[in-house]
Each structure stands twice: as C-alpha cells, then as structure tokens.
Amino acid sequence: QEAHAAEMERTFIAIKPDGVQRGLISEILSRFERKGFKLVAIKIVVPSKDFAGRHYHDLKERPFFSGLCDFLSSGPVVAMVWEGEGVIRYGRKLIGATDPQKSVPGTIRGDLAVLVGRNIIHGSDGPETAKDEIKLWFKQEELVKYTSNEKWIYS
Ligand code: RTP
C-alpha cells in the first residue's frame, strides 16, 4: 500500500455565483486538475442565506457579512472537495489574495476578477476550517474514494 493512500489532505473549494454566471467553472476546475489535485466531491447548489451565514460564521461581526451572505445565496455555487499533498495552502496560492487587486497574475483571482466583493472563488484557509466546511457542505457518502494517476504525481 502506497503512503499516499492513507490520509490525504483535503480542502473545500467553492465557485461563487459570479464565477458560475461568468462561465468560469471549467477554467477553475482545470487549474486544480492540471496541478495534480484530485476531485473527490462536486455539486452545484443554491445555498440559502442561512446556510451562507453558517459558511461565513467567522465573519458575523464584519460590516459586509449580510451582503456577503446575500451574494453567496444569490445563485448557483459549485461546491467541491479537492485532495492532495498540501492542497489547503497550495489551493489558496492558486486562488490568490482575497482582494483581486492584490492577487498576482497567474492566480485565479489575479487573472479573472477585479473586486473583493466579486472574487469568484472560495478556499478553506486552514486544516480546521477545511474540515468544518467539508462537513457543512457534504455528506460523508458524497466524498468519493478512487484511484487516479497518483503514482505519476507522488514519489
Ligand atoms: P474566501 O473565504 O472566500 O476564500 O476569502 P478569503 O478567505 O480570501 O477572505 P475572508 O477574509 O475570509 O473574506 C471572505 C469573503 O468575504 C468577502 N469580503 N468582502 N467588502 C469587503 O471588504 C470584503 N472583504 C471580504 C470576499 O468575497 C471574501 O472572499
């Protein structure tokens, strides 16, 4: 049994309503996929405002909280779980800084977004939030175990 088969790191990634409406689903999927990360769960949903509030509970005290929850629940969101070594940190690198004006070219937000309120994608910011967010958005049985090309990605 290979070492990587045991407990591979996972992160929660969501394409927000602006990313979906702008037709960026395949563009975003392909960046994670080509890197070598593995998609283990995916669905498209319109979250309720209450659900959006649970997702963003850390930001409850921020002035933009209500508007942010309105926005996340304003249309379809593509919710995903990606797996791979270092996927939480590196996923954030692929995404870029929260403010697209500060995201460097080559990142998803740097290449594809302009404003912080329309930054098209979310990614968990650490192991604890990754665990919580995966649990909030997915049932255990929606996470799929399968073998893909990992022997060409991991040594
Ligand atoms: P995310 O959770 O969506 O990946 O974003 P993040 O960690 O990079 O940023 P965070 O500080 O957790 O903020 C979450 C989302 O809130 C919106 N936001 N708006 N109007 C504002 O000043 C403001 N600041 C943050 C952004 O959509 C951000 O992604």
Each residue's pLDDT tens digit, 57-90: 999 999 999 999 999 999 999 999 999 999 999 9
Reported ipTM: 0.91
Q: Which of 92, 76, 93, 97 is nearest to 130 (CA)?
A: 92
Residue 82: other Cβ atoms inside 10 A: 27
Mutate to test the pocket of ligand 1, among 116, 121, 124, 129 (most ligand atoms within 8 A of CB): 116
Residue 109: CA count within 13 A, CB half-sphere: 26
Average pLDDT, the chain: 96
Q: Are 9 and 84 in contact (CB under 8 A)?
A: yes
Does ligand 1 have an atom closer than 6 angstroms to the CB of 109?
no
Instruction: Provide CB contacts within 8 A for 4, sequence distance 6+.
Output: 85, 150, 154
Task: Give the model's pLDDT for residue 7.
Answer: 83
Residues of each annotated binding site for ATP: 16, 64, 92, 98, 109, 119
Active site residue 55: no
